[in-house]
Amino acid sequence: MIYVNGQPTEIPDAPTIDDVLRSVDIDPATAGIAVAVDAEVARRGVWPTRTVPDGARVEIVRAVQGG
């Protein structure tokens, strides 16, 4: 189980960050998004290769109106 933006999500086979993004219908090529895995920023360059461990908390954010 991986927690994607707070939602428990089943993603089989040691997914990469790209796989996690696709599992929630986000194209990894989308501009203006950023990812943290377990409270650490994952640079875009590692998304295709870095695997996300079971139980990890993945936060995917983008800019919205504010402040």
One residue of 44, 46, 53, 55 binding another protein per CB under 8 A: 44
Instruction: Bin 13: left if φ > 0, else alpha if -120 < ψ < 50, else beta.
Output: left
Give the number of residues written for the chain.
Answer: 67
**Around Cβ 17, how many Cβ atoms within 10 Å?**
23
In whole angstroms, the minimum distance from the beta carbon of 44 to another protein comes to 7
Q: Longest Cα pair distance anywhere in the chain, in angstroms? A: 40
Q: How many chain residues touch another protein (CB under 8 A)? A: 24
In whole angstroms, the minimum distance from the beta carbon of 56 to another protein comes to 15
Which chain residues interact with another protein by CB under 8 A? 5-6, 24-26, 32-36, 39-41, 43-44, 59-67
